[in-house]
Structure 1
Amino acid sequence: MIKINSFSGVIKILEDSYHSLVTKDYKIIIAPAIIIYQKQCKQISIIIWKHLEYQKHLKDRFFVSNKYLLVEGYLTFRDKPIISNMPKQNKHLILIITKAYEIHKPL
């Protein structure tokens, strides 16, 4: 059983280049990012962006270098990569975003 933790905090996208895969239910964004949580920084490599009606205006404009996002969602680990060409690691840290807001700097 996978432990899922509710997450609310800031992420910083580290670079412009990313890969995306759109399915019926999800838009999967893979981009290096740092989670700023409880005054600690933890690097992640997978962001899953859920398709929700209010996100239509957000599109991909957030996913550029050095942008900060204030997000709500769920943080979890997976044993297997979501996409086959991803690096094979023991665990993949995944952030499933349900809400996101662009901010200029961390709070």
Structure 2
Amino acid sequence: MKKNMLKFALILIIEIGLTMLLARWFSVRFIELMFFTGIAFSAITISFSSSGGAMTRHIDSQTSAMTGIISKREEFTLRLNYVIFASITFLFIGLIFFVLLITNVISPA
């Protein structure tokens, strides 16, 4: 359990660091970018942690076209892990900040 929490914290630190770098590069505040990078991180981790998705179907179709052998299609399955939980946590925290920015609870300047 301790290893999993360490992975969770490490992924959050990496996502925060990357978002801070992007915020500095685009000259915007961290909380303005946090929701959008959270969407990107979540989409990337879900796509790499799942099996049977669009990429798998595409590769299976190409292989079937080249070999002539039709393989059984793999159903989409999402493998939940601490990387996905950390990315979704980052996304929801970013969503909260984004809503606070839109409603002017946090000043835009």
The TM-score bracket by the shorter chain reads: under 0.3
Q: Which has the higher contact order (CA 8 A, sep 6+)?
A: 2
What TM-score, normalized by structure 2, do the two folds share? Answer: 0.17
What TM-score, normalized by structure 1, do the two folds share? Answer: 0.18
More strand per residue: 1
